Every structure is written in C-alpha cells, then in structure tokens.
Amino acid sequence: MDTAVIILAAGKGTRMNSTRPKVLHEVGNFPLISHCIKTAQSIDPKKILIVLGHGKSEIKKFLGNSINSIDFAIQEEQLGTGHAVGVATNELADFDGNLIVLFGDTPFISARTMTKIENECKQADLVVLGFHPQDPTGYGRLVTKNKELLRIVEHNDANDEELAITLCNSGVMAGSAVLIKKLLKELDRNNKNNEIYLTDCIELARTEG
C-alpha cells in the first residue's frame, strides 16, 4: 500500500523569540525542515506534502529546486494540529493509502523508525510513536491500559494523575488515510487551547470501535 508523508511546518515558533520560521533554525548545520524531509524521503513515499503557514514564502525560497518533488498546503489560520492535517488531506482527496504525520521541527526520527512505523500500519489502523523524555514538561501523555493506548492527553489538559505518566507523545502519528480523514471531520475544539487536536483521533477511534 502506498504511503504519503505530511510534514507540519506552519507554526510560528513563538517560544524561540525569533523572526525566522521555526523550521529554518539549524541543528547540525542543517535547518530542521531539511532533516525532516530527509526522514520522509527515507521510505520513498508516494507523496510528501508540507503544510505551511507562518513564513511560507521564506521556507519555499529556502527549499528551492527540491520543491519539484514536494507538494504544499497552506494553513491560513493556525487552529491546531488536527486542522493542519485536515488542510493537508484536502490536497490528498483521492489518496487511500497510509499517512505518516511528522512535525517539521522534530529532526531526530531515524529512517529505521520510519520503516517500523510504515510496517506497523500494515497491522493497525492508527500508529503513534511514544518515548520517555528526561523532562516530560510540555509533552502530551500516552494513557494506556494493559499495553493498549486509550487516549493522548495534551499537557495543558492533563490532570495530576496523567501528568505523572512518563510515556509521552513524539508527535508522530500514522495510519489509514481513509480513517484519518473521517476522524478529522469529527474533531472539535473542546479543550483549554481551543484548538483542533490531531491526538484526539485516538480516543475517538476507540469510541467508535
């Protein structure tokens, strides 16, 4: 089954206190977005689509000739990760393979991990990459029971019991494009940030069976 990779790169990066788009800040002498594109290319996907917003012209200019092999979607309003992926899937209306969603400011996802995620999509409708950070502050928590993922709770919405969980959300989510498109239409903004969370797809999918 074909795979398409969506890279979320529309954020302003306000915490960086910089006028430069967040994804153009460098790690290891290369901008974050370059690392992310290389990660996406490692599995030779059918399509790579980058969601742009803040600094879109500057990012496109930086990418230069490489944009010939990349498609773009524009998120005019930053209404959350679920909204951003929805903007992307509007450009993938006829695609019915698997989607892998990456964040443009997350440069350390390896090719090996990408291959594992792609393989997991053959067995599960939705796949989430979790990890145990030294400091979980700011990360969404993966709420599990008997080794099954029940839901993802964003840091700002978590209670004390959920904040004690050390298994965190990396931001990488994958799964059936058909299912993800369906779930995105059902998401709401009923949270402290008043945003559409991609992570809410997990609990919604479990609720619907």
Show the tokens assigned to 16: 């960086």
Rounded Cα distance, 55 and 52, in Å: 8
Cβ burial of 145 (10 Å; 0-12, 13-18, 19+) is: exposed
CA dist 143 → 5, 137, 146, 149, 183 (Å): 25, 16, 10, 6, 19
Give the chain's end-to-end CA distance (angstroms, integer): 23
Structure tokens at 119: 């393989």
The rounded distance, in Å, linking the Cα atoms of 21 and 14 is 9
Indicate which residue of 15, 112, 141, 206 is catalytic. 15
Which of helix, strand or coil describes residue 103?
A: strand
The closest alpha carbon to 196, from 89, 41, 57, belongs to 89
- At 150, give phi and psi (nearest 5°): -90, -45
> What tokens appear for 109 in the block?
């996802």
189: annotated active-site residue = no
Active-site annotation, residues? 15
